Amino acid sequence: MSLATITAAALPPQAYAHSTDHDVQLTANPANWRAIRNIGRGWVKPFGGGLWTSPVLGTRADGTPTDSAWLEWRRTNLEADTSEALLTEVWPVGSARLLLIDDQAHLAAIVDAYPADDGSRYPDWEALATDGWDGVYLTDRGQWATRLPRSGPDLYGWDLESCLWLRPSYVVGRTVCSSARSEAGAA
């Protein structure tokens, strides 16, 4: 089975949600990139590198993001106050090689092509990056399909539609303060 992909142009607008102590501009510079590493026994998410973005859910009149899927998830599931979060626009470069996970078969094909060397049911994230894959885009449909499948690999813990950037093959845009309303702490 061939691997499912998504073109850079077809990737929904992405935003990186962060606090003031993280300069996302640095991550776009290959000299500052923290490479993806497989740590310990296979794991659903790699640790210690990469960049996570999620789809933009709202924009201002000038097109800058006001909300993202990650901030919505934090408000809904953690009752977090996201009103002070920063959002930075992130666009893939035109030549970005992006894997698509829209169903369980897509994930299984990635694991078959890039199995973790420890026998786990997860991809070898380092091998994906080394082989020139720039990111892995998990759709909302794919997130539900891979959460608790009856058999095969899973992505339980990837709780929302998102893109894991394996390499810095993106351009960083404007950073703005989220204007998403938060009910956290409301009486």
Q: Which residues does 65 contact at the CB level (< 8 Å), separation at least 6?
A: 13, 15, 56, 57, 58, 59, 87, 89, 176, 178
CB 136 within 8 A of CB 36: no
Alpha-carbon span 71 to 56, nearest angstrom: 10
Q: What pLDDT was estimated at residue 185?
A: 43
pTM: 0.91
Each residue's pLDDT, cut to its tens digit, for the chain (187 residues) gives: 599 999 999 999 999 999 888 777 667 777 778 888 876 655 677 766 889 999 999 999 999 999 999 999 999 999 988 988 999 999 999 999 999 999 999 999 999 999 988 777 889 999 999 999 999 999 999 999 999 888 888 898 899 999 999 999 999 999 998 876 655 444 3
Alpha helices in 54-135 (DSSP H): 69-78, 104-113, 125-130
Alpha-carbon span 69 to 72, nearest angstrom: 5
